[in-house]
Amino acid sequence: MEFIRSSAISIWSILDPLYYSLTRLTYIEKDSPAKCIFRVRLTKYKGYPTLLEDGTQINKNDLMIKIHLHNVRLIKEMRNAKNDFQKVIQIYRCVQQSMPYLAAYVEKHEQLGEIKGIIGITLINKGTNKLGFESFELKSKLYRVFKLTSLLPIYLLSNQNKNGIFGTEPRYLMMSKDRLIGRYNLK
């Protein structure tokens, strides 16, 4: 099983630059991308209206920064984790250390005034609220199945048991621009 997992990660590492170019992703820290686990792109929200805890209303077609974990890098870094608890800690630290870079990126963005917040879709279900994210279900059954299918390879390559760091349903993670900048501003 380990040989298959290692081979899949190697193939994924080779294909990742192609995926990166096709998805219009960008590195937050272009000069030193190893500092930040996120790759991002500007997107228009296509989900249902959502009210965040700080009063920010997210509506269809609102401008958001979509965050993507650099999964192949994260999986490589988690290879030496002995159990799922160590994986949770590693993921949490990577995301936590990357949040100030994300806040700076949003704060300097030329469309700052139009951006409502950040959004991501994940199977990871532990610790996201401690980072300031709010979690919401994907209401569209078709989109939920699509996202679950697309996240399945990540799940299989990273998870050692079914009770690990991953949930069974993909979820939106959102944070308002104001909360992000207020909480993670480097200044």
Full-model pTM = 0.80
Mean pLDDT of all residues in the chain? 81
Q: Is the predicted pLDDT of residue 166 greater than 60, yes or no?
A: no
Reported confidence tier of residue 107, pLDDT bands at 50, 70, 90 = very high
| Minimum mean pLDDT range among 36-45, 69-78, 127-136 | 69-78
Q: For the chain, percent helix, then strand, then coil, each to nearest 5? A: 45, 25, 30
Give the integer Cα–Cα distance in Å for 63 and 51: 15
pLDDT at 174: 96
- Written as six digits, the tokens of 169 are 């349903």
Nearest-10 Cα torsion for 136, 142, 147, 148: 90
Nearest to 92 by CA among 128, 136, 132: 128
Per domain, the residue ranges of the chain are: 2-184
